[in-house]
Amino acid sequence: MISCPALMVSAPSSGAGKTSVTAAIARHARNSGKRVRVFKTGPDYLDPMVLARASGQPVYQLDLFMGGLVHCQQLLAEAAENADLILVEGVMGLFDGQPSSADLAAAFGLPVLAVIDASAMAQTFAALALGLQTFRSDIRLCGVVANRVGSAAHGRMVAEGLPANLPLVAALPRQQDLALPERHLGLVQALELPDLDAQLDRWAQAWGDASNGFDFQPVRFDRESAPAPRPLLKGCRIAVAQDAAFSFIYPANLDCLRALGAEVLCFAPIQGQALPECDALWLPGGYPELHAPALRANPHFFSDLASHLAAHKPLLAECGGMLTLVESLTDAEGVAHPMAGLMPGRAQMQARLAALGLQHIEWPEGALRGHTFHYSLLDTPLEPLARASNPNAGRAAEALHAKGSLRASYIHHYFPSNPQAIAAFFCS
């Protein structure tokens, strides 16, 4: 066992300010000279980008469905070896979903700090906090944060009725200028925010001014871990598109490829970089609809993709990566962009969410887990090679398409859920 101060930051609902509070705590601790590791509960790419900038370290997912208990345990134990503080941002509301943030907190004994948007309430704040504290007996709410309070008097008012064992850790004032911009999939990517570091420092200062020296309690983590995968991809060069158009990449996926023995070669198509000499290619999700002109302007990209597939080399295209391969992609303004034309079909962005949810899919090489989250619709004549199921009985059940050496789907796969299946595809 190894011990490290740790905390889960959760809330009654989405939109309460979990990310900004987690980032503020992380940046404040980092600015104080502490080594901070931050994790995100559940599937997410955009919040972790902000949290990584705040902490100065990569942010990994902790998901009991996608990765499993042992995988999450291993990630936490490895972080505890070298960190002075571990923070875990929850997902949605504390008890929402299966598995929920509360399930994760219970599994690892993480104390929970609840962030509550106090902007439209007074004494009811305490009633809501007490409900979170007593709803389940297997988690421990160690304190609450009143976010977006209107004044010092408002902050004192929301604290009325809180018991001694549930302190108001901080009352954070409402400051619209500290809010992060959003677009259809969530926060704008951290790499697109030139003033983000200065904003994170302002958040850290606000936390330091309001938090009254909150004491982080140590948590003990089990060092036992799963055996490393066999180097089934030894000698295999896998190219990975990585830039503002292809940014939805779990660090654990890259770790998995390297643990399997692969050489990972990242390149930036929208910067005009050519596809590296490789044996296989991964086009992850992102925002091709926002960068279609830059992708088209790259003199090598589409032709390199065509040559790659013509050579029967494996290509995995996920969500935005898949949309890059179709004949045309119509953006939210109704502009149709010609794309690579290597997969039959057309895609259309829309204002409404098209699909959201965890996914389980049976590849020919084995079962994989992941999630889906997109605003586009795809029209393709390809018959699905397989179709996913949603563990929460949701309607999202994405297709896996195949054409030659291409695999394409809206699913963002979590490679550690089945490294052997990933290796069998990429070395096929």
The per-residue pLDDT for 176 is: 57
**Do 420 and 232 contact (CB within 8 A), yes or no?**
yes
Rounded CA-CA distance 277/300 in Å is 13
Q: What's the token pair of residue 375?
A: 């605003």
Buried b (16+ CB within 10 A) or exposed e, 176-190: eeeebeeeebbbbbb
Count how many residues are written for the chain: 428
pLDDT in tens, 167-193: 999 999 987 555 666 655 556 676 667
Question: Domain 237-426 maps to which CATH number in 3.40.50.880, 3.40.630.10, 3.40.50.2000, 3.30.465.10?
Answer: 3.40.50.880
Peptide linkage before 391 cis (omega within 30 of 0): no
Tell me how far apart the 2 most distant CA atoms of the chain are, in Å.
69
Q: Kindly list the catalytic residues.
A: 319
- Do the bridges between strand 168-173 and strand 237-241 make them parallel or antiparallel, or are there none, so unpaired? unpaired
The list of the chain residues with pLDDT below 50 reads none
End-to-end CA distance of the chain: 40
Strand extents, DSSP E, 299-398: 315-318, 328-330, 336-338, 346-349, 355-363, 366-374, 376-379, 386-387
The per-residue pLDDT for 179 is: 63
Decide whether 2-221 matches 237-426 in CATH topology. yes
Rounded CA-CA distance 284/18 in Å is 26
- Classify 154 as helix, strand or coil: helix
The per-residue pLDDT for 180 is: 66
- Classify 115 as helix, strand or coil: strand
Rounded CA-CA distance 216/21 in Å is 15
The per-residue pLDDT for 252 is: 98
Peptide linkage before 99 cis (omega within 30 of 0): yes
**Do 376 and 289 contact (CB within 8 A), yes or no?**
yes
Domain boundaries, the chain: 2-221, 237-426
pLDDT in tens, 267-276: 999 999 999 9
The CATH code belonging to domain 2-221 is 3.40.50.300
